[in-house]
Amino acid sequence: MAARTATIAGVDVSVDHWIAGRRVASKQHFTNNSPVDGAFLADVSAGSKEDVDAAVAAARKAFPAWAALGPEGRLPILKKFAERMLARADDLAAVETADNGSLLMGNKHRLVPRSALNISFFAEWALKMQGHTINSDEVVGHVQYDPAGVAALITPWNAPLMLTTWKVGPALAAGNTIVVKPPEWAPMTCSLMADIADEAGLPPGVLNVVQGIGEEAGDALVNHPDVARISFTGSTDTARIIGGAAARSITPLSAELGGKSPLIVCADADLDAAAQTVAGQYMNAGQVCLAGTRVLVEKSIEEEFLEKVRAAAGHMVVGDPRDPGTRVGPLIHPEHFSRVSGFVERAKADGAEVLWGGSQSSEGDLYFQPTMFGGAAADAEISQREVFGPVLTWQTFQSDDEVIAIANNTEYGLAGTLFCGNEARAMRIASAVVAGTIWVNCFFVRDLSAPFGGSRTSGLGREGGNWSFDFYTDIKNIAVRKDAFTS
């Protein structure tokens, strides 16, 4: 069966799998439409168990030679991969915007460069992970980081390229070979990424991409006996299914999941900066797992701060994500639009007050107004569940103990944001909030050497810097008795 391509935003992109260094078509397809205007993009090959088996077999075959290169041997190939991504920034950005509705300028100037950095950073970091020694009274421990084998990488649709390379970078740099299962609602930039990797000289089978539906291709991948690592970013409910498969085979699993993060604003904070940050939570139409969707404001500044946020939110223009003036694009898919609007309608029925927004935007079928709810009960669905849309809630507090209790009153623990003018107070609150990351007087600063991940139902494990290599390698200690050798 001949491989097929689609022209998306003027860029030719394969709609078939990438397995063992060549394009492979499936008999079954799924339809991919653009959330920007509903336009048809492509019929994409839907991977079967046989496709997954072929991809895992290709990765397993390529593993010994790729692992044997060592960090120094892999470095120039991965650096070229990153360079080629930057050279194709316009193409990658245009395809990503058409595929998932994210802002074109943001993709071109932030997410594609960050995606390239994910590859080059970890390729260089791997040079630091070539082992060390531990001296004790009786032995010298030689610690080494051995590649684990075939890694299954399952990625989400809200930032497909960036979040895929966040996994691809350390997995390949550690010496593993990989099978990527991109999101079925936005698979196209992962397909383009495979061609770029090939142009950069990645050997056949080192990087494989199998598109498809989670219940079919994804299920086959996480249950495959030859997969040595599973890395997943997505919903908590899906992670429970993947976790069951990983548990049956004792396969290490890393999972970055949902959130319902607090954004805390104290009375002595820089209120203008805080208001801009609150309005910024509407970016990517609120489809950001780290978003501070629960705005918690010290009672004494409520009225003043609410007006500042209202003004800032007024500049969050809803529209075509290809327009440089747009700040809020569409939701990804009709199914997801229905989910978000369902949360909003139920919140209204439960008595929450719509402070602004609260309904579909006139821009199109998948566009939703930036929305703020006030007066929701602490145990209400809108206060507890992840909406994953441009929907925030507003609550007040009068003491540090109260805001800590409110912040921790969900099942999640992914992130938190705090604006505060007193360092001691800020550290006291930040230390007590349950989350993998707390930003103080800033937001969304991601140092790739820092640990990242979630607590509670927001995730398993940490990624970034050494933590990524702890996951993607088998760490071995060779303990040699000090008097074992005389020469």
Residue 323's contacts (CB-CB under 8 Å, 6 or more residues apart) are none
Strand, helix or coil for residue 378: coil
Residues labelled as active-site residues: 256, 289
- Domain residue ranges of the chain, discontinuous segments joined by +: 5-257+454-477, 262-440
Query: Distance between CA atoms of 89 and 107, rounded to whole angstroms?
Result: 8
Strand, helix or coil for residue 252: coil
DSSP-derived secondary structure for 178-217: EEEE--TTS-HHHHHHHHHHHHHTPPTTSEEE----IIII
CATH homologous superfamily, domain 262-440: Aldehyde Dehydrogenase; Chain A, domain 2 (3.40.309.10)
225's tokens: 């006996």
Query: Distance between CA atoms of 160 and 190, rounded to whole angstroms?
Result: 7
Encode pLDDT of 271-313 as tens digits: 999 999 999 999 999 999 999 999 999 999 999 999 999 999 9
Cβ proximity of 286 and 390 under 8 Å: yes
Encode pLDDT of 464-477 as tens digits: 999 999 999 999 99
Encode pLDDT of 91-112 as tens digits: 999 999 999 999 999 999 999 9
47's tokens: 């991977």
Encode pLDDT of 246-270 as tens digits: 999 999 999 999 999 999 999 999 9
For the question of whether the overall pTM of this predicted structure is more than 0.95, the answer is: yes
Encode pLDDT of 55-68 as tens digits: 999 999 999 999 99
Query: Distance between CA atoms of 387 and 393, rounded to whole angstroms?
Result: 11
Residue 305's contacts (CB-CB under 8 Å, 6 or more residues apart) are 265, 271, 274, 275, 297
Query: Distance between CA atoms of 398 and 420, rounded to whole angstroms?
Result: 14
Topology of 5-257+454-477 in CATH? Aldehyde Dehydrogenase; Chain A, domain 1 (3.40.605)
Beta bridge partners of 452: 463
